[in-house]
Amino acid sequence: MAALVGVVAIVLSLAQANGVAAVFNAQAFRSDVTLLTHNDLYGNTSTRQAATIVLSARQSQEKSQVGCEALQETLWTLANGTDLDFLRYLDYEKVTDDVGLYWIGNGGAPGCKAITTLGKVQTTACDTRLPALCSHSASLSSPASTDVGPRWQASVNTGKATVLGYRDKLSFRFLGLKYAPRPARFGYSKYQAPSDNISALAYGPGCVQSGCREPSCSEDCLFLNVWTPYLPTKVPSTTKKAVMLWIHGGGFTSGYGSDTTFDGGNMASRGDVVVVTINYRLSTLGHLALDNTTLRGNYWLSDQIAALDWVRAHIEDFGGDKQQVTIFGQSAGAASVRALLASPLAKGKFSRAILQSVPGGVGYAKTFSEYLSISEATALTKSILDETSCAQPDKSLQLACLRALDPVSLVGGRTVARYPVVDGTYLTSKELLLNGSGPTLDVAVMTGVMRDDGDPFSAFSKSSNASQALIEQGYNAAEIIGSNKFPVPNGLNTTLDIFNLTSRVATDAMFRCLTQSTAYSSVSNGVFPAVYSYEIDRGYQISEWSPNPPTCEAPITPGHPYGDPNAPYFHCHSGELYSVFGTIIRQGRQPRDQNDIPFSQYLLDSWTAFGRTKNPNPARDFLRARGFANTSAIVEGTTPWGTVDAGNPKLRALNVKPKDEGFRELEQCAVLGFPLDYYAD
């Protein structure tokens, strides 16, 4: 590794001559670099704080020290009582049984020291060629505190560009990377290769949405963010990580890839994956369609496909594997995943898909899964034309008027476009075809809901009559009440009893029924090679959105000042997001009981296991190697999560003690007109 020392020496001497610290460059460094820590998701309150930077290059102790100095670190010196179990992961998936040995600092003791992956320190001849463990001094970042100073910066060469990011304790972070140039308003985006020097130290602006304008939001908003625990020196690397690309929700009218709820650091670190989040155009700017013009909608979908093209072109330079891409999203993000599964232009760009709480069925939810025709979308566009004074007889004048408007007026009016449409190019059928008439897809799928997903889409009724409350919310009260499948709870609070009924109906009619039909129908007709189904029975509602308060919040009790998750409350839409991304602590929330963080560990471990292997059951040897005792205990205490069997469909009920159950509310779904075989025929 003489080349490594030569490059490092040149970089250091140039930096010293200019009086500044050198910026680490992955490709020039000539060694793969991994950030490794236990990461139990407890943040700074964790009792397991040890972290190290792993240099894969095998070289002498002296050269390893020079390599660490290039990262502005030193060879790792162990503190007394350091928990070293996480080092076992360095031997995971080795083809031989030998125990790894790595250079560390000698702590002032004579001789050169190395440590085994079992934590045994030994004196070793200094010219032995070994990989090395460097100190890792970067702190945890948070929404309120991020240090992007030169000491922590790292650059990656990709294509004709050099991208400057930084590291914190958990991952290398590259934020605000443009994946496509600003498209013309109501034009389709296309991936464009980056060039020159790019700063990726801060998020780019979000896409224009109601209440957000320049500079926080812009029409020039097609940015993505990358979190990776690993940077290779050469591409293709033999140690590529699975990629998980997140698509945010927000009803197709709001949301950001930079939302810190979805910070990818914990998922990348604990799950050993590369995480990507994206912006895409929203509301009328992302969806407007008008017949007999070039406005055919689905601009948002072209954005998402362009982001996938960027990932396929560049993610390997950031340690990812372009052949192992999972797309996952929640709510409108899950509807996006569904549309990408349906789109012929997205085929082959990903191999796994997770759909969390896809809206579909009745009312507000219908058009997320059943796509409008151009003529149907045009009927809605006419209202927008009227409201914006662009309703002129000549279509070309209408387009010119719409393109000249302040973008905020297009997304903040009484009527906005937010519908996927059958444009004949990006979407060619009115829904994802699961009845056997469409193509089979080599994509493993995981899909599910929150137990009370419909709570935010119901409302407290002023009526004490259940039928009247259902009618107010657009349901066929006679069929629902007359079926005797939806009894009204008989509690002490009539208003809450009726809300329980309408929330149950909303959950079934807008989320659960068609999610279960999606799983059943796709398996019945062999659309996907594997389908896993779940329902989450524990929620921690995000602080930014908690409708119908306090129904989605665990009730506060003297023994549980932050809420008692074991007491009755609604497990609502978006209630899984903190847990899936492992961001409860990072977002400034407190564990409500001793199970909140272990449950988050289990969900994150299951989601990333699916990303790595197409199977949500974390491998037991992986968990042992990582020292993930809590998830190990859960996995060992239950049967494996199986794929959906059309003959006996089951879901995994996800809670502190997961279990398998048959699909839920099947009789109720039939009453609502959404039987299990709804999509099958």
Model pLDDT for residues 526-543, shown as the tens digit of each residue: 999 999 999 999 999 999
71's tokens? 């990262």
pLDDT at 21: 55
CATH class, domain 2-134, is: alpha beta
pLDDT at 6: 35
In CATH terms, the fold of domain 444-671 is Rossmann fold (3.40.50)
Q: Please give the DSSP secondary-structure letter assigned to residue 76.
A: -
Domain positions in the chain are 2-134, 150-422, 444-671
Average pLDDT over residues 230-238: 89
DSSP-assigned states of every residue in 392-412: -SSHHHHHHHHHHS-HHHHHS
pLDDT tens per residue across span 327-356: 999 999 999 999 999 999 999 999 999 999
- pTM for the model stands at 0.96
pLDDT at 59: 96
pLDDT tens per residue across span 69-125: 999 999 999 988 788 999 999 999 887 778 999 999 998 889 999 999 999 999 999
Q: Do residues 45 and 585 touch, judged by C-beta distance below 8 A?
A: yes
- Those residues with Cβ within 8 angstroms of residue 487's Cβ, 6 or more apart along the chain or in another chain: none
Beta-bridged to residue 445, according to DSSP, are 353, 531
pLDDT at 30: 87
E strand or H helix at 334: helix 332-342
Task: Report long-range pairs for 345-349 (Cβ below 8 Å, ≥24 apart).
Answer: 345/305, 345/425, 345/426, 346/304, 346/305, 346/308, 347/439, 347/441, 349/305, 349/308, 349/309, 349/312, 349/325
Q: Of 15, 31, 32, 34, nearest to 23 (Cα)?
A: 15
Average pLDDT over residues 204-231: 97
Average pLDDT of the chain to the nearest whole number? 95
In this prediction, residue 65 has a pLDDT band, given cuts at 50, 70 and 90, of very high
On the question of pLDDT at 14 being above 90, the answer is no
In this prediction, residue 273 has a pLDDT band, given cuts at 50, 70 and 90, of very high
Percentage of the residues of the chain whose pLDDT score is greater than 90: 93
pLDDT tens per residue across span 449-492: 999 999 999 999 999 999 999 999 999 999 999 999 999 999 99
Whether the domain at 2-134 and the domain at 150-422 fall into the same CATH topology: no
Q: Within 13 A of 239's CA, how many CA atoms are on the CB side?
A: 18
On the question of pLDDT at 11 being above 70, the answer is no
pLDDT at 678: 98
On the question of pLDDT at 2 being above 70, the answer is no
Pick the CATH number of 150-422 from 3.40.50.720, 3.40.50.1820, 3.40.50.2300, 3.40.190.10: 3.40.50.1820
Bin 208: left if φ > 0, else alpha if -120 < ψ < 50, else beta.
Answer: beta
Average pLDDT over residues 212-217: 94
